[in-house]
């Protein structure tokens, strides 16, 4: 029973991390478009900067991490825990890879997305991977 409670606590932690990942690029450490910076095309259309697309991808990944946490709370068997653990490690890796490799952030080092959003997402990604690793290798 106590093991279930521990697993449930990790499920809640994952859900919380997912919510923080969703909120980070929009509210906690906002990307450039939240500060009013856009790419303006020759026709005058406003488009999000690179970091804006990363923010959208992170929202999706954050939502999936919330779902993973919910799954762990709803069903805390050993198999679910390990499966959620593997899934969480992959999601944590994507949290880091979207702003660094897959989509990226603005090129200019002084943009808010580079100074605050990027390191925050990197740190959150590392925490998600550590939680995932614990779920996979947690002793019975």
Judged by the rule CB under 8 A, the positions of this chain that interact with other proteins are: 37, 106-111, 114-116, 118-120, 122-123, 126
Q: How far is the CB of 130 from other proteins (least distance, A)?
A: 11
Give the other-Cβ count within 10 Å of 102's Cβ: 12
- Give the largest CA-CA distance in the chain: 63
Q: How many Å is the Cα radius of gyration of the chain? A: 17
Nearer to other proteins, 11 or 99 (CB): 99
Nearer to other proteins, 55 or 106 (CB): 106
Task: Single out the residue of 29, 31, 30 nearest to residue 48, CA to CA.
Answer: 31
Nearer to other proteins, 6 or 77 (CB): 6
Q: How far is the CB of 5 from other proteins (least distance, A)?
A: 14
Q: Tokens 């970091």 sit at which residue?
A: 51
């Amino acid at each position: 029973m106590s093991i279930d409670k521990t697993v449930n606590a990790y499920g809640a932690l994952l859900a919380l991390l997912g919510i923080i990942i969703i909120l980070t690029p929009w509210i906690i450490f906002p990307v450039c478009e939240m500060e009013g910076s856009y790419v303006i095309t020759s026709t005058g259309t406003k488009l999000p900067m690179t970091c804006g697309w990363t923010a959208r991808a992170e929202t999706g990944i954050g939502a999936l991490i919330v779902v993973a946490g919910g799954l762990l709370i709803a069903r805390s068997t050993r198999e679910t825990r390990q499966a959620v653990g593997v899934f969480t490690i992959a999601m944590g890796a994507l949290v880091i890879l979207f702003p660094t490799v897959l989509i990226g952030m603005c090129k200019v080092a002084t943009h808010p997305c580079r100074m605050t959003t990027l390191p925050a997402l990197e740190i959150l990604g590392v925490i998600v991977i550590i939680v995932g690793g614990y779920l996979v290798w947690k002793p019975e």
